[in-house]
Amino acid sequence: MTVLSSPRPDQTEGVLRLNQPLRLDSGQMLREVDIAYCTYGHLNADRSNAVLICHALTGDQYVASTNPTTGRPGWWPVMVGPGRTFDTDRYFIISTNVLGGCMGSTGPSSIDPDTGEPWGLSFPVITIADMARAQAMLISQLGVETLFCVAGGSMGGMQALEWARAYPDRMYACVLLATAPRHSAQNIAFHEVGRQAIMADPDWRGGDYAKLGVRPEKGLAVARMAAHITYLSEPALQRKFGRELQRDGLSWGFDADFQVESYLRHQGAAFVDRFDANSYLYITRALDYFDLAQSAGGRLADALSPAADVRFCVLSFSSDWLYPTSESRVIVRALNAAGARASFVEIESDKGHDAFLLDEPVMRDALNGFLDAAGAARGL
């Protein structure tokens, strides 16, 4: 099944069926795997200018084009486009919807070919490595052997790290933003709150809601509300909302009196329109299982030693408490120990984890310098 369309001459979007079954870390095989993707710009004659941009937990392949579900611009337009840091006049940008996602790639809401019904919880548990493996197969099928760069923030950074561990010969540079080499106890704890909220919703129906024509919207909205707090920072929340009220005076009840409550409710409500609850369970599980060092007996430097020839740019944000700077330092020290060429800077920002999605001039300048130098060395 290949669906191709071109919203603009330099953009394509489509869904590609992987030409082989996908072997999963769990030991299971997925026979039929579709990966939805978008591309921006043109592949050069040497096929050396391709860049893979990996999305975060609730992102998708619409990195720089209108998301058809929401009708809103892509999730990273400040960084991807003509003349931008990830310059579509210069690079051939590929972005995919992760395995387990709900924007066209195979996931728990897809149809199980054996039963003809949505997978639900019979979908196998997947990992970050499984996501990267599916991306690597897709990229081969698109005719690209080696990527100039693999880039991502948050969970996207974890996919990029996994690429560096597993496919270092297929990449030249790696950009890791606001990410971590493993999930911490606190990361897992917040995800567990989200999953329990979904599973506590009566409409979740043991994961079979799709077969029964209902959706656990309340549970998914609560999961999003809790998670959304972790993407912001205390000072930013305080500055934006403080104790401001929605209306004059208190309601003396449980309406959204405070602006911050109203804001979170809006975030939850908007999220359920575009995201699948089971996908949220599977992808958060993949994040919790992520521990890059595990494959190398717990030594991160050993896991990354095959990537000694890859150029890395690691950026963290000072107010990010989801994947704090200390996690980026762990990555950087391991890269130094592995002998890789690493750059790292902590960017001063009070915007929390989501700072990497925003227009941060320091991030832009650092990445422009990094990509220009790598591009020059690569002959781009």
Among 188, 214, 245, 362, binds another protein (CB under 8 A): 362
Q: Name the β-bridge partners of 171.
A: 147
Which residues lie closer than 8 Å to 227 by C-beta, 6 or more apart? 57, 190, 191, 194
Six token digits for residue 374: 């790598």
Question: Considering the complex, what minimum distance in angstroms separates the CB of residue 302 from another protein?
Answer: 12
Which residues lie closer than 8 Å to 219 by C-beta, 6 or more apart? 197, 198, 199, 200, 201, 203, 204, 277
The answer to whether residue 350 forms part of the interface with another protein (CB under 8 A) is no
Q: Could you tell me the end-to-end alpha-carbon distance of the chain, in angstroms, rounded to an integer?
A: 33
Judged by beta carbon, residue 205 or residue 364, the one nearer another protein is 364
Give the C-alpha separation, 79 to 75, whole Å. Answer: 10
The answer to whether residue 144 forms part of the interface with another protein (CB under 8 A) is no
The answer to whether residue 376 forms part of the interface with another protein (CB under 8 A) is yes
Which residues lie closer than 8 Å to 297 by C-beta, 6 or more apart? none
Question: Considering the complex, what minimum distance in angstroms separates the CB of residue 377 from another protein?
Answer: 9
Residue 130 falls in the annotated catalytic set = no
**Other CB atoms within 10 Å distance of the CB of residue 248:** 5
Among 35, 334, 355, 357, binds another protein (CB under 8 A): 334
| Helix, strand, coil percentages in the chain from 3-state DSSP, rounded to 5 | 40, 20, 40
Among 170, 229, 336, 380, binds another protein (CB under 8 A): 336
Judged by beta carbon, residue 188 or residue 362, the one nearer another protein is 362
Residue 55 falls in the annotated catalytic set = no
Give the distance, in angstroms, between the CA of residue 350 and the centroid of all CA atoms in the same chain: 21
The answer to whether residue 170 forms part of the interface with another protein (CB under 8 A) is no
The answer to whether residue 337 forms part of the interface with another protein (CB under 8 A) is yes
Give the C-alpha separation, 194 to 361, whole Å. Answer: 33
Residues numbered 32 to 91 that lie near another protein (CB under 8 A) are none
The answer to whether residue 10 forms part of the interface with another protein (CB under 8 A) is no
Determine the angle formed by the axes of helices 155-166 and 277-289, rounding to 10 degrees: 50
Judged by beta carbon, residue 24 or residue 334, the one nearer another protein is 334
Judged by beta carbon, residue 188 or residue 373, the one nearer another protein is 373
Q: What one-letter code names the amino acid at 16?
A: L
Question: Considering the complex, what minimum distance in angstroms separates the CB of residue 207 from another protein?
Answer: 44
Question: Considering the complex, what minimum distance in angstroms separates the CB of residue 348 from another protein?
Answer: 6
Pick the catalytic residue from 257, 288, 353, 354. 353
* Stretch near another protein under the rule CB under 8 A, chosen from 1-9, 34-42, 150-158, 343-351: 343-351
DSSP letters, 95-137, are: EEPPTT-SSSSS-TTSEETTTTEE-GGGSPP--HHHHHHHHHH
Residues numbered 273 to 312 that lie near another protein (CB under 8 A) are 301, 311
Question: Considering the complex, what minimum distance in angstroms separates the CB of residue 311 from another protein?
Answer: 7
The answer to whether residue 138 forms part of the interface with another protein (CB under 8 A) is no
The answer to whether residue 332 forms part of the interface with another protein (CB under 8 A) is yes
* Stretch near another protein under the rule CB under 8 A, chosen from 53-61, 101-109, 111-119, 325-333: 325-333
Sign of the C-alpha dihedral computed for residues 20, 23, 29 and 30 taken in this order: negative
The answer to whether residue 378 forms part of the interface with another protein (CB under 8 A) is no
- E runs forming strands in 20-91: 22-23, 29-30, 34-40, 50-54, 80-81, 86-87
Angle at the Cα of 13 (from 8 to 19), degrees rounded to 5? Answer: 145
The answer to whether residue 164 forms part of the interface with another protein (CB under 8 A) is no
Residue 154 falls in the annotated catalytic set = yes
Size of the site for another protein (CB under 8 A): 29
The answer to whether residue 343 forms part of the interface with another protein (CB under 8 A) is yes
Among 140, 246, 294, 368, binds another protein (CB under 8 A): 368
Six token digits for residue 246: 């929605």
Positions marked active-site = 154, 320, 353
Interface positions with another protein (CB under 8 A): 301, 311, 313-314, 329, 332-334, 336-337, 339, 341-348, 362, 365-370, 372-373, 376
